[in-house]
Structure 1
């Protein structure tokens, strides 16, 4: 696999590591595919997708092995082959070529994944289990080199996942042990003093292949395009599979990560970035923090398993379980607004310490059987989530800073910790789904009932609030499979999300409700490795908080946001040597009901038009082994404030790649933002985020 977001295990002797791996090696001369870099086969469900952009399956859409062409919902898959080929350094960058998805709201700041689907912030899952959304600073982060694939399921998905965003779900799928041996080591170097390295070792641990193991690890450190800032992290993910027979499989998954340095706060004032400031322009390299004071360290660890057992030809039980713990210590000075009479930004300080623990388990019983001419894939499931967050915080001020000639000599006092809070969240859900097939017709019906409880305690004021929510959600989809590979479908789905807080009367807010109607068509031509999809949708979120017209500083749940759109996506190996991947999305979001004065306006940061094109070609003859490619990403204008009086300009960014493979060696070069364009990726009322400037990297890898 071509390394991308990689980084090696920390201080392990390179000599010892290479000796150990050599002892495990099998003489296997792996040949690169014509279009893509060689990648790892990580699971039976993903074997057909391992070395191609054109995925055929996505377990996150139905929690089953239903092919994408038979899924009556809009689903996009980013394989590890695509991640590696495009040189993506994190999950948001891996999604930048998808239609209907805006993943880089933080721009060059990739401390957190902030992904917007169809105009709504998306929820993130790892191996089908929910990642925390109640936290902010202790949110976990995952190196994309440790992932086999990323599945983007668009639209409401509460039937299978409980409380979720109406926009969709992003499911990260970890690499799993393989029976066939696979070994890779790599090293990456690039601008901003980037140095990365990593390894991926997988194979059977015994002759009978009852035990399979995999060890994936990365290490990375670099400066950034912003002065006085840097990233550094270490990541390791051991995995072990026990399969005593063909009917039983137990896979242990774990991941341990440490981030001594996690980059920078990328938000800068609107004046001087988006809006002209007579005192001067604020550069994308300007650092508005305080060297020696700012720090952001994060640690995360997770352990869990996936269990599967076939009782017979009909019944199968599945269970996924994970325990996750994260800790973060964040101390920062940040700019907020400008001084009117000078080229200076106002600054404030904060210190937040968090500890987060989460336990998730999902158990489902699956039955495949026939009732007359109708084939059923029936599933009953129950899942449970428990989150526990502790947060200590303090806030203060700092001296203004000249953004044209910054002087950081004025000391900043560490703000006193004055806030101590604890938050518990539990959710228990019961769901059922039946995927029925009769001749060429497919019908998917699903329903779910959830109980969710949130308990928040202010440990200083000794004040406690408790919210109990109950919700039922459903989904229905109908599809017809033509013999020529065309599959039109219609679907309807609902979702819910609990909300914190109370109204003026003390009544707890009810969950927001999402509902979506979608129609689309998928085309998988016979004899061509390709998948073409098109979808139109009408999506609404109701019970949104808006200002209480009778009681200032309070809210009522009469708000509504609607999003309509069109999405087109195509991935195809046109010839064995030529790959093309392209997408286009038109997203039309609107605040349809509000007391905040923004009814009829568009939410901030949502581009109406986005488009992307990526292509690569493998040369032959005397240049055999060389592949070249590149892409273009267009993001249209978006509104920068709730009043819709300011717009973020549209931007087109170009990327390029080249790689050469010789036997088991591969050298790859990736350049992102080829023309080094300075642009704004996202703006809101109180600030803007610069996009990533030119980033280039060279990766040398060896596979055996």
Structure 2
């Protein structure tokens, strides 16, 4: 439904005021009731104020989430902090799926939690590498890309609206793309299926929430150096603990990472520098205020050029394939640079055994520049030998400002019949991007980029200066009100009911035409979730869930028209199994997802996107993570997709399978450290990744073959030192990860060997 922006602002103000009053009223009533029952609640009134019992507050099952964490994994019998370290590969709790501190075995949705120990075992330096052993996930869809992260969940792209950091969206549009360094993460949580009722955004395939490292109760220090393939060298540090104040209310953490070197593409660097200070103030057992910041600079180039199907998947006319190391851009200006910053805080106050309020706020900034020659045009016209690659020049300058705040009020109570964990929330985001893109096609005068001989490349200076074809100032605002109730009928059966109302406003100011082609729209949408899970005493937990999604889309099509919101619906059923004390967690899930108004590449103008009608994804996934016995940790998964185009303006592709997506994936990763004896501390492991076939064109006439990759690692722990060597794609297999079209195929990651030495105290 379309409205004007003034109506949106008025509605936003009314809703903000109304919800704020409602929450304050409810909290006030609860506190008044508490003062009248101090003997029952374990608190006392003093001069009109309420004095809380710290021990009672901190013992709540869904208590403090935003405070300091331990610097080490929880010991036997100790509860796991949902933002803290994980013992081995098996996580117990998460706050991503339900925004409450709920055990994974009581969560009626499929989720994978990848902890710091697994990230270190894999030496995962990118989010792509971190998620490649997760069920329902295809990471690195567009090959090895040192600029961006491309991940698909259950067959749908989540790289744009589905990447989160500490529960707040990073929102990646155009080339204004955020990319958080994985060394700064404590966890990566892959939530599959719609999450719109709590987050207000993300595809029905799911979201990925990155949980950053935060201040610790106990002091510690960590340093690491390493290097390896393509001349890469890096150094990292991580310090944390009490800040030294005599009252013991302040805690800190400082994390830093820097690397420089090359990539598998000739002449393209991969330099990155990251620092993340964090500070927590904890005046008492009921209140925490944590400041989370990060600054990052990246300098690289285009490593995932658009290459033709013939010459990558299949040999070209001479029976040869395009070298994987070919720099399609000219080495002198194949440039991608990004500066980004995050500044935010998380506040939490526990009023009593019933009420807790939280506020999660962040401002994010990114400045991105890219200038490069790229492919996507195939071979030059008349090139019978298929050795001359046609190219065009692409220039982008994007600047992003993103403000977000998520306010929550959580109440745990019993109505006399059932136990409730009631969550009410109001969130708001304000996103602004200055999106400037140009090519030689738009230049005045028009100029051509020289063809590139793929076997004897000759580089030179830029042939001209790209002209702008898009100079837009996009603003996007979204206000959401949500409520969720986890209703425990008894100790085994839990129902989850949730609903959300969103109000979105999207405006595009076309600076290239002085606003003549500016456009915009306002939309509202309602989403909901109904779910149930039954927990048997021996660890079996069958569940079922039905949920819907609503995703407003940013930007315009080739005709300068803003896009309709994307909607989706999903039904998921499965079973979880976590036998008490056995050290493993097993999940089976089946799903059926319908997604409408899906964006895809415009077949007649690849610089813009178009909207499909409807795509359906059905499938099955299995995941197991296990601490098998002392020293052995395992993660494995299997996924099979059934993806089809249900409706589209192009009737020829109805019933066809969308491009880029493999028909199935399977993987297993294991890490073993010898716990006793003469070889104590020595360890080894590795993994196998299988990716099935996919289609390279919408008509489904071209296939990308399946492939298998092998990873390996060895390490040795001595005292506080650790030496480790990791090798991914150890056989150095050359493979195509996917194709978007006949002239848009992407090579996957080459063999990467990294050695590291670390010291912890």
TM-score scaled by length of structure 2: 0.84
* 1:194 matches 2:232: yes
Matched, 1:338 2:394: no
Matched, 1:488 2:542: yes
By how many angstroms is 1:557 displaced?
7.4
In the TM superposition, 1:202-601 aligns within 5 A as 202-206=240-244, 207-262=246-301, 264-279=303-318, 280-336=320-376, 337-339=378-380, 340-342=383-385, 343-396=387-440, 397-409=448-460, 411-417=462-468, 419-439=470-490, 440-461=492-513, 462-463=515-516, 464-499=518-553, 510-544=564-598, 559-596=613-650, 597-601=652-656
Per-residue CA deviation, residues 457-486 of structure 1 (Å, 9 max, x unaligned), is 111212321111100000111011100011
Match of 1:610 in 2: 665
Distance in 1, Cα, partners of 2:325 & 2:556? 42
Secondary structure of the 1:60 match is: coil
Q: Which structure has more strand as a fraction of its residues? A: 1
Aligned pair in 2 of structure 1 residues 547, 315: CA closer, same or farther (>3 Å)? closer
Structure 2 CA distance for aligned equivalents of residues 520 and 266 of structure 1: 40
1:86 aligns with 2:140: no
| Cα shift at 1:558 | 7.7
Contact kept? 1:224, 1:263, Cα under 8 Å: no
Q: Is the 8 A contact 2:85 2:186 kept in 1?
A: no
Structure 1 pair 508–254 and aligned structure 2 pair: CA distance change class (3 A)? closer
CA separation of 1:255 and 1:434: change in aligned 2, threshold 3 A = same
What CA distance in whole angstroms lies between the structure 1 residues aligned with 2:198 and 2:113?
A: 18
1:43-192 superposed matches below 5 A: 45-46=81-82, 49-122=85-158, 123-133=162-172, 135-192=173-230
Greater relative contact order (Cα < 8 A, sep 6+): 1
Distance 1:62 1:47, change over 3 A: closer
Q: Is the 8 A contact 1:435 1:443 kept in 2?
A: yes
Query: C-alpha separation between the residues in 1 aligned to 2:300 and 2:428?
Result: 33
**Distance in 2 between residues matched to 1:47 and 1:501, nearest whole Å:** 34
Matches of 2:117 and 2:143, distance apart in 1: 24
Distance 1:427 1:41, change over 3 A: farther
Tell me how far 1:261 sits from its aligned partner. Answer: 2.8
Please state whether the residue corresponding to 1:159 is helix, strand or coil: helix
- Separation in structure 2 between the aligned mates of residue 510 and residue 55 of structure 1, nearest angstrom: 38
Q: How has the CA–CA distance of structure 1 residues 662 and 268 changed in structure 2, closer, same or farther, with 3 Å as cutoff?
A: same
Aligned pair 1:668/2:724, yes or no?
yes
Task: Give the CA deviation at 1:527.
Answer: 1.8
Q: Residue 145 of structure 1: SS of its match in structure 2?
A: helix
| Aligned counterpart, 2:707 | 651
CA distance in 2, matches of 1:406, 1:502: 37
Cα separation, 1, equivalents of 2:314 and 2:507: 42
Task: Encode CA deviations 1:135-162: one digit per residue, 9 max, x unaligned.
Answer: 2222011111100101111111110011
Stretch deviating more after TM superposition (257-266 or 636-645)? 257-266
Aligned-pair CA distance for 1:411:
4.5
Deviating above 3 A after TM superposition, structure 1's stretches of 4 or more consecutive aligned residues are 38-44, 46-49, 416-419, 499-510, 543-548, 554-558
- Alpha-carbon distance in 1 for matches of 2:712, 2:601: 47
RMSD after superposition: 2.4
The CA distance in 1 between the partners of 2:562 and 2:165, in whole Å, is 31
> Does 2:686 match 1:630?
yes
**Displacement, 1:641?**
1.0
- Worse overlay, 200-209 or 143-152: 200-209
Q: Compared with structure 1, are the counterparts of its residues 258 and 310 closer, same or farther at alpha carbon in structure 2 (3 Å cutoff)?
A: same
Question: How far has the Cα of 1:412 moved from its partner?
Answer: 2.5
Query: How many equivalent pairs are there?
Result: 662
* Structure 1 residues 583 and 547: alpha-carbon distance in aligned structure 2, compared to 1, 3 A threshold: closer
Instruction: Provide the C-alpha distance between the structure 1 equivalents of 2:540 and 2:203, rounded to a whole number of angstroms.
Output: 30
Measure the CA separation in 2 of the matches of 1:47 and 1:684: 37
- Classify 1:481/1:356 alpha carbon distance in 2 versus 1 (closer, same or farther; 3 Å): same
Displacement after TM superposition at 1:508 (Å)? 6.6
TM-score, normalisation: structure 1:
0.90
Q: Do the aligned partners of 1:547 and 1:556 also contact (CA within 8 Å) in 2?
A: yes
User: Equivalents in 2 of 1:606, 1:57: separation in Å?
Assistant: 30
**Distance between the aligned counterparts of 2:83 and 2:170, measured in 1?**
26
1:25 is aligned to: none
